[in-house]
Structure formats: C-alpha cells, structure tokens
Amino acid sequence: MLDPMGAALGLIFVLAVFALPIGEAMICGTILYLALAGFDTSIAAETMLQGLFNSYTLLAIPLFILAADIMNVGSLADRLLRFSQALVGRFRGGLGHVNVVSSLIFSGMSGSALADAVGMGRIIINMMTKDGKYTPSYAAAITAASATIGPIIPPSIPMVLYALVSDTSIGYLFAAGMLPGLMMGVVLILMNAWLARRRRFPVDEAVPMRAIPGVTFRAIPALLLPVILLGGIYGGVMTPTEAAAAAAAYALLVSVVFYRSVNFGQFYGALLSSGRSTANIGILIAGSLAFNYVITRENVPDMLAGWLQQFELSQVGFLIVINLLLLVLGCVLEGGAILLIIVPIFIPTVQALGIDPVHFGVVVVVNSMIGLVTPPYGLLLFVVQNITKAPLSAIIRDLMPFLYALFAALAIVTFVPDLVLFLPRLLGYQG
C-alpha cells in the first residue's frame, strides 16, 4: 500500500522541481495525503482558512509590504540615500558604505530584504556603476549582502512568521534583532573597507559640511518612521499589527503631504504591487498551514525530538546542527518556506533543551536571510542580477567575502545569546 506521507513528500518535490510555487505544491501534497489516508480532503481548506483568518498577527505582513512599496514609489528612498551619503560617502569605497548604511536605515521601515534590494538597491547600484567607479558585479554583490539586514532590524516580516509558528512575542523578537542587525552592518562595512583598499576603489566626492544640516533636515520626516513604529510598540501604545498600519499611513502621509512625490497613479501601483506580494506570501502560509497538519498528524516533531535526544546534544551542539542544516536548506529553499515548514518541527526540541525561543528565532531568521544570498538558489542573487545584468558567476565571486562576513556574524549571534537578549531583557523579557 502506498505510504501517504511518502507520496505527499514525493509529489511536493516533483511539483517544486517543475517550478510550481512551493505553497501550491504543499497544498497539492496535503490533499494527496488526506485522500490516501482516508480523510476528508476538505480538511485542507478548513485548516488553511482557520489559520489565515484567526491570526491577527498576519495582518502586519501586508501592511509592512504596503509601507515599503509606498516608500519605493515616493522620494523617501532618495532622501534616505542622500542622508547616508552625507554620513559615510566621503571614505574610500564610500558608495559601498552608503549601500550598507542605507540598508540599515531602510530596514527600519520595510521589514523585507526584497523591498530593500528592489527599492533602495536599484538606486544605489546605478550610483555605484555610473562612470565605471565600481563593477556591476561588485555593486550587485554588496547590495544583495546588505539587503539581508532588512528583516533582522525591526520591523521584520520573517520574525512575524516565526512568531506565528512558535507563539513567541513579536515585540521581544523585534527588540532582539536590533543589535544583531547592527552587527551585520558593521561586519559588511569592515569587509567593504578592506576590499576598497585592496582593490583601490575611488574616494567619492564628499557632501560639503555646510550641506549636511539641510540634507538631514529633509530626511527627518522619513527618519521618524522607525521611531514612531518602534516607539509605539515598546511604549505599549500599539500592537505590532497596529504599528504596521500606522507605518503604512505615515509613509503615505509623508510622501503625499511633506514630499509631494506620490500621485494617485503611483499609489495605485503601490497597492497592486503590495497585493501581489501579499498574495505570494499568503499562498506560502496557506500551504504551510495545510502541510503542518500532515506533519502534526504524523507526529513528526516528537519523532524528530526523540531521534535527536539519543545523540544527547547540548544546546551548543544542537544549534550547530541547526545552523548547518538551515544553511544547506537555504541553498535550495526560500526563507519563508524554511520558517513555516522546517522550523516548527524543531520547536519541541528547542523547548526540551531549554533554548530561549527569542534567541532561537533570531538565529533562524539570520540564517534564512543568509540563505537569500547563498548559491545556487539565493533569491537576492537573481534580483540584483536582473538589475545589473552582470553574469551570475561574477556576482557570486564578488559576494563570497561578504558571505564569509555574514557567516561570522551568524556565529556570534548563535554562540553569544546575551547579545541577542540584551535589549529584550531591558524591556522586561524574562528569558
């Protein structure tokens, strides 16, 4: 007799190989499992609908996406980029530093690595490659690497997904991502500085000191967005979902009233773009909710926990295994799929070993973001390759030093949990 679980996994694999989106493949696999196991196949639809409509937390995702799309069609990205250039553009390899700093600032608004790469990244890549100052492959590489910071510094769509599967506080997860995100920015800047000296990158024209106050003043409305967003959450004024709505409304207000850079057509385009992105994520979440029913029905988390216990792994040993596994999976799977399908399987083991769930969440999210730039499947690689038209092999070659720097940051995040938990504990976290 055909094994329902094996048949479901086989169908998902085959459909994924033939380029069907992983969310839709999981829905098909779940329906096949239910049919072979003798269950009512309508359970799949019921599970998806209950999971999607009963989760208030999920509303934050389309709102954060909308806020990012509004900023991309307006002039917020340009003003933030000019502000970053005033801060660090005067050093050797300055536009590389600007690339990283602008990602640090923009990440406090979008919560999405792809939004960072497509919006801010497109602008800075054009600046870097103008007049041949930097090769297109190097501009693409540092843009892809710096975009990984976006979902680490709050707000963060992947952390919302992790909170969904682990029942962890979004507010504490957001706080836990701040220092690791800043550290990732620092290691990328240090690597860019080293490469700039080694490759003799140009010293870009500095913004005159007398112009810096004006540049800063024009950027203040945009810079206030993360302050309002995080202040509202940690001040107890707003839930993360309400803060996401406030972020979208504020981005529209600033773009229309202060900067007057968004017309109705552009706003309509932002709505369409955010709707498409939300639908893609929604299908992925729906598929994972349905397939997680199968995983739970087959008792896979407990079986895996029992299998791991026989190795008597310590917390450190388990985290090493998880990092290696997720890094390998990141080469072939999208980050959202890892968070929604793979991570829930390990939650019982995390609890049994006494690993802090907030710390584990940051480790997982950092890992999944590194997966976005890990060959051969890294999604950000294809995004920046499409922008620059540089050969993918050249982009990967220039990316490797930055990838090593990100691995070093991941090691620190993994083995120094106090760094991750410092800010959450200041905010009252008891973990």
**pLDDT tens, per residue, the chain with 431 residues:** 578 888 888 888 888 778 787 788 888 988 888 888 888 778 777 777 776 666 666 777 788 778 777 877 766 767 777 777 777 666 777 778 888 887 787 765 655 676 667 666 777 787 788 767 788 999 899 998 998 888 888 878 888 889 888 888 888 999 999 999 999 999 999 999 999 888 888 776 666 777 778 877 877 877 777 777 777 877 778 887 888 888 888 888 888 887 777 788 888 888 888 888 788 778 877 887 788 778 778 777 677 777 777 777 788 989 998 898 888 877 767 777 788 878 888 888 888 888 999 999 999 999 988 988 888 767 788 778 877 888 888 999 999 999 999 999 999 999 999 999 999 999 888 87
The HSE-up count of residue 102 (CA atoms within 13 Å, CB side) is: 34
Which amino acid would we find at residue 147?
A
Which of 65, 51, 53 is CA-nearest to residue 245?
A: 65
How confident is the model at residue 357, as a pLDDT? Answer: 94
Say if residues 25 and 245 touch (Cβ distance below 8 Å): no
What DSSP character marks residue 411?
H
Instruction: Please list, residue by residue across 353-392, b when 16 or more beta carbons sit within 10 angstroms of its beta carbon and e when fewer do.
Output: bebbbbbbbbbbbbbbbbbbbbeeebbbbebbbebbebeb
DSSP-derived 3-state class of residue 395: helix
Tell me what pLDDT residue 69 has.
78
The pLDDT value given to residue 167: 85
Tokens of residue 40, six digits: 């009512």
The DSSP code for 218 is: H
| Residue 339 DSSP one-character state | I
Residues in the chain: 431
Residue 160: name the closest of 135, 184, 183, 177 by CA.
177
Q: What tokens were used for 39?
A: 């269950």
Pairwise CA distance, residues 158 & 152, whole Å: 8
96 token code pair: 């590389």
What's the pTM value of the predicted model, to 2 decimals?
0.79
